[in-house]
Amino acid sequence: MKRSLIGIAAIALVAAACTGGNSNQGPVQTVNPSASHAPVTLKVWGFYTEHELANFTEVVQTFEDKYPWITVDMVPGKQFGDIVRGINAGTPIDASVDVGPDNVAKLCASGGWQDLTSYMQADNVDFDATFPASVKSYTNYEGKQCALPMLTDAFGLYYNKDLLADAGYTDPPTTLEELAEMAKALTTYNADGSIKVLGFNPLSNFYENPNMYVGNAWGATWYNDDGSSAFGTDPAWKQAFLWDKDLADAIGYDKLVQFKSDVGGDNSEWNEQHAFQVGRLALLYDGEWRTGYDPEAMAKLNFGTAPFPMADDKTDLYGSGLIGGTVVGIPSTAEHPSEAWLFVKELTTNADFLSTLANKLYNVPTTIETLADPTLAADDHFKTFLDIAANSNSRFRPLTTLGTGDADLEAAFLVKWEAGKIANLQQGLTDLATQIDREMQLG
């Protein structure tokens, strides 16, 4: 599945001391699987629904078969706001599965999710030996391991081989300069000047492009060492936004807006009108799930996948990209924290579980072992994203207690910038940094 990595509204989470339940401040006790146990029912809240819930539940059944004294009571359709309200109300929740990492800092700083470090140490789970370095960027906050990863999204480039070949290209671009030149060369127009086939759409509100401007391709820094926003001081942001507008203006901003409307608007990302899938878009920024989202449509395309191009002065980063996915934690209100840890450990470290679920959901697994799964790697299209997730330079944006607040402000700024409503880019970036700093001070 695809996860929304930006755009989730902030919701207040009170300190765990006000919620009751287990705060996990003292020594932890883990489960001895070989001992006899009284029956335990774990209350697990998760976001899955419909077929994804069926797939997840089917795999969870293997956990119950392995530990027959434990029953997992899955409560589906629970989003971050539901988890917060449940914790604040003192509702017993033994484990919770959140769709993305945006709120890990809030859950960790408040004590809403317990620090798992003591559990990991007690069971000899070495994070660095188990997980790729990239996933620590979105599961650890200020030294506290309040979440563990369970499947992730990885973002890269899809390219239509036939359209590239028609324009004389044999390989996808590896730098942003190459991408811009190819985007212009691959774009064709109708007699009325509208876009017939688009090389690449740089606009920040097109499909998954908001995630493109998290800044990985430019090596951009979100925060300075003193914690202040770096939008006004890191030149990579100016470079990124100029690249965006220069390409949009070269193709035609109004034409790009019309193109999005012509292919069905926002909804076309999830239906049969998807511009890449119908051959109207040559190059696409997207995640791994697109390889299997509409198998019938994708089977008709002669396409390839590759890492997303990097800025010309950041070619050493090529092969990496934005990652971020499902996270699992133990709320402060857990009634059975030891058994909950056993469940969380299985969800996040058991290779059979992760590989099976990854195959069912077309998502990237999140342990070093499963990233090398030959079954998953057999699909060349999908292997690209396994390699991106394994790359040590891949990362999520920095976790803060703002959640998506900083990314939301950036997204709003970009829309205005692209539309020509910001005259002075440097001043605008400085103002954006000030806005983020104010939000951070307000908490």
| Amino acid letter for position 301 | L
| Closest-CA residue to 119 (of 281, 340, 315, 273) | 340
Question: In degrees rounded to 5, what are phi and psi of residue 74?
Answer: -80, 125
Per-residue pLDDT band for 15 (boundaries 50, 70, 90) equals very low
Contacts of 361 (CB under 8 A, 6+ apart): 1, 52, 55, 151, 289
Cα–Cα distance, 206 to 280 (Å, whole number):
14
Higher pLDDT, 11 or 182: 182
pLDDT of residue 26: 57
pLDDT per position as a tens digit, 168-190: 999 999 999 999 999 999 999 99
Residue range(s) of every CATH 3.40.190.10 domain in the chain: 37-153+323-390, 154-321+400-440
Give the CATH class of 154-321+400-440.
alpha beta
Task: Give residue-wise pLDDT tens across range 372-415.
Answer: 999 889 999 999 999 999 999 999 999 999 999 999 999 999 99
Rounded Cα gap, residues 382 and 376, in angstroms: 7
CA distance 98 to 45: 9
| Cβ(158)–Cβ(283) below 8 Å | yes
Integer CA distances (angstroms), 413 to 65, 213, 425, in order: 51, 11, 10
Residues 356-361, mean pLDDT to the nearest whole number? 90
Q: If residue 377 lies in a helix (H) or strand (E), which one and from where to where?
A: helix 374-377
Listed in sequence order, the residues at least 6 apart from 282 whose beta carbon sits closer than 8 Å to its beta carbon are: 159, 160, 163, 164, 182, 183, 186, 197, 198, 199, 200
**Residues 401, 407, 409: CA angle, nearest 5 degrees:** 105
CA atoms within 13 A on the CB side of 137: 22
Describe the crossing of helices 425-442 and 235-251 by its angle, rounded to 10 degrees: 120
What pLDDT shows up at residue 2? 54
Confidence of residue 33 (pLDDT cuts 50, 70, 90): confident
Query: For residue 28, what pLDDT is reported?
Result: 80
Name the CA dihedral angle for 99, 103, 109, 111, rounded to a multiple of 10 degrees: -40
* Cβ atoms within 10 Å, residue 32: 10
Q: How far apart are CA 275 and CA 293, in angstroms?
A: 14
Coil, strand or helix: which one is 388? helix
Find how far residue 158's CA is from the centre of its chain: 17
Q: What is the mean pLDDT of residues 424-430?
A: 98
Give the pLDDT score at 17: 35
Q: Average pLDDT over the chain, rounded to whole?
A: 92
Write out the two tokens for 434: 């000030």
DSSP character at residue 353: H
pLDDT in tens, 253-306: 999 999 999 999 988 999 989 999 999 999 999 999 999 988 899 999 999 999
Model pLDDT, residue 328: 97
Cα 376–102–100 angle (5° rounding)?
A: 30
CB within 8 Å of 196: residues ≥ 6 apart: 188, 189, 190, 280
pLDDT in tens, 307-354: 999 999 999 999 999 999 999 999 999 999 999 999 999 999 999 999
Banded model confidence at residue 18, pLDDT cuts 50, 70, 90: very low
pLDDT digits (tens, 9 = 90+) for 92-146: 999 999 999 999 999 999 999 999 999 999 999 999 999 999 999 999 999 999 9
- 408 vs 419: CA distance, rounded Å: 17
Q: What is the pLDDT of residue 34?
A: 76
Identify the architecture of domain 37-153+323-390 in CATH. Answer: 3-Layer(aba) Sandwich (3.40)
pLDDT given at position 62: 94
**24 pLDDT higher than 50:** no
- pLDDT value at position 31? 82
Q: What is the dihedral of CA 226, 231, 237, 242, to 10 degrees?
A: -160
Q: Tell me: the pLDDT tens digits for 212-264?
A: 999 999 999 999 999 999 999 999 999 999 999 999 999 999 999 999 999 99
Q: Count other C-beta atoms under 10 Å from residue 425's C-beta.
A: 14
Among 368, 393, 382, smallest CA distance to 318 is for 393
Query: What pLDDT score was predicted for residue 263?
Result: 94
Q: In whole angstroms, what is the distance from residue 279 CA to residue 256 CA? A: 16
The CA distance from 215 to 263, in Å, is 27
> Which whole number is the average pLDDT over 71-90?
95
